[in-house]
Amino acid sequence: MKRKSIVFLCLLVLCLPGGAMAERKIPILMYHSIAEYEGKGDPDLYVSPKDFESQILYLREHGFTPLTFEEWDERENVKKPIFLTFDDGYKNNLNAYDIFKKLKTADFKPKGTFFVISEFIGRPTRLSKSDLKMLAESGLVSVQSHTAAHPELTKIDNLDSELKGSKEAIEEMTNKPVIALAYPYGEFNQKVIDETKKVYDFGIATALNDSGGKDARYKLSRIFVTGSMTLDEFARKVEGKGRKASE
């Protein structure tokens, strides 16, 4: 009887959502500019609108459900959850929003999280206050924080203005809660995590070797979608085929 009970408990653990031993690996994609590359900067930071539309179509046709961090607790209740994130708050991210609207159907609602730098809002190449308010009210975009001025958080002493200051500034513009922070350059340490936990529910990094442990929600790793990535490569990444542990 005791042996049967042990076997039953083992099977129960294996059947729990995400597994009790290790949380389910859900792809979190990282984008920057959704625009044609015009010869300035790193070309891999630019995903063309055409390629981006093909990627969202792939997600729609293969049963993915895009979520935002406000919906984190829904990740175990939907088929093939995925998070789409966009760093730096570029004006050209409106191209992503337009594609979301174009590809939305009764059964598929594309969504993304725009991580904006609060002190850069309104600059010529960045989203404006009115843009952010419109996006936040659309139901397709969650506007979250990428700090106030985009410093390397591990190299500054006073984190309050970068963390709390940016949260308050963005919330005032959008009238929506800001619960997630994307670390500039993906850099963080335990001090940064401890300070982030005082202000946010999530800390988003880039690629990590270990994203588990008690602070798992403050070192979430992402898959960098580059401008040179083919659709086949994109499919392998989001489906988890051949994905390295650091991704």
Q: What is the pLDDT of residue 21?
A: 31
- How much is the average pLDDT of 120-146? 98
The pLDDT, as a whole number, for residue 213 is: 80
Domain ranges for the chain: 23-239
pLDDT at 19 over 50: no
* Burial label, 230 (beta-carbon count in 10 A; 0-12, 13-18, 19+): exposed
Question: What's the Cα-to-Cα distance from 23 to each of 14, 61, 139, 172, rounded to whole Å?
Answer: 11, 26, 27, 34
Q: Please give the mean pLDDT across all residues of the chain.
A: 89
User: In the CATH hierarchy, which fold is given to the domain comprising 23-239?
Assistant: TIM Barrel (3.20.20)
Determine which of 1-10, 68-77, 173-182 has the lowest per-residue pLDDT on average. 1-10
pLDDT tens per residue across span 160-192: 999 999 999 999 999 999 999 999 999 999 999
